Amino acid sequence: MSDRTGTRSGGRPRDPQLDTAILEATLHLLDEAGYTELTLEEVARRAGTSRPAIYRRWAGRAPLVLSAIATRLDVPSPPDTGCTLCDLAESFNIFLAAYRTIRPDALNALYSECVRSPELQERYRRTVVEPSRTAVRRTLEHATARGDLREDADREQLLDFVASLVHYRVLFGRHLSDDDAERAIETLLRGAAVDYGALLEHSEALENGHLDDDGTHHVHIGG
């Protein structure tokens, strides 16, 4: 019997060090050969254990790989500096930096297997898709509270916009580039911001050090 995370329950107590060794071996193999070439036999060999030991913890290859990927995509909360453009860019970049450590072909092959099972499909969504939404959600909430975003802007739809773009690119074998991410943020905020020009001006002033201590914009004239 397996629990909600796809790991085996019951039996003798788990050894957390062995769990870590198995997950690390899984990630190394995923990096080297992708998902289709990854075998539990090789994971067990590299982790210094056996296939039965893996099956006592995970119900199969897909649940194991999802657990391994989750250790890389555990995205921390983004900053709240008061600069909506800065914070949104940083939260997006935090996720993308971790996400790019997973081979696109590995994500595609994994999804192809998970889509056959509603439970695995849901686990894929929580593991691979939700971190990008989580990375941006708090920034959008803070921006709305500051009055930077329109009250009628649908934040869940904005989050779908970010997540779907990231994963759409993976379907075609490549991760979202920094330039594409920057343009996506601009497109998102041009539609949702109360005053996109003011947000951009505020961001540039911060970058150039032209804000007073109270956060107001101070324009330098002359040399």
In a domain, 103, yes or no: yes
The CA-based diameter of the chain, rounded to the nearest angstrom, is 75
- CA-CA distance, 4 to 167, in Å (whole number)? 24
The residue segments making up the domain with residue 96 are 73-208
**C-beta atoms surrounding 58 within 10 Å:** 25
Considering the domain architecture, whether residues 42 and 78 belong to the same structural domain is answered as no
User: From the centroid of its chain, how far is CA 50?
Assistant: 31
**In-domain check, residue 4:** no
C-alpha to C-alpha distance for 89 and 185, rounded to whole angstroms: 7
Per-residue tens of pLDDT for the chain, all 223 residues: 333 345 554 555 678 899 999 999 999 999 999 999 999 999 999 999 999 999 999 999 999 999 999 999 877 777 788 888 888 888 888 888 888 999 999 999 999 999 999 999 999 999 998 888 888 888 888 889 989 999 888 989 988 888 888 888 888 888 989 898 888 888 888 888 888 888 888 888 887 775 454 444 332 323 3
CA gyration radius, the chain:
21
Contact 155, 133 (CB under 8 A): no
Q: How many domains does the chain have?
A: 2
**pTM of the predicted protein model:** 0.77
Q: How many residues in the chain?
A: 223
pLDDT the model gives residue 46: 97
Residues 172 and 98 reside in one and the same domain = yes
Distance (Å, rounded) from C-alpha 98 to C-alpha 9? 29
State the sign of the Cα–Cα–Cα–Cα dihedral 152, 156, 162, 168. negative
* 39, 103: one domain: no
Task: Quickly list DSSP for 58-95.
Answer: BSSHHHHHHHHHHHH--PPPPP--S-HHHHHHHHHHHH
Residue 13: its pLDDT value, please? 63
State the pLDDT at residue 16. Answer: 86
42 and 147 part of one domain: no
CATH number at residue 50: 1.10.10.60
Distance of alpha carbon 180 from alpha carbon 165, whole angstroms: 10
- Is 6 domain-assigned? no
| pLDDT value of residue 102 | 94
Does residue 26 form part of some domain?
Answer: yes
Cα 8 to Cα 26, 27, 50, 63, distances in angstroms: 17, 20, 15, 10
Inside any domain, residue 213: no
Residue 7: inside a domain: no
Q: Among positive and negative, which fits the CA dihedral 165, 132, 202, 152? A: positive
Output phi, psi for 97, to 5 deg.
-60, -40
User: Is residue 128 in some structural domain?
Assistant: yes
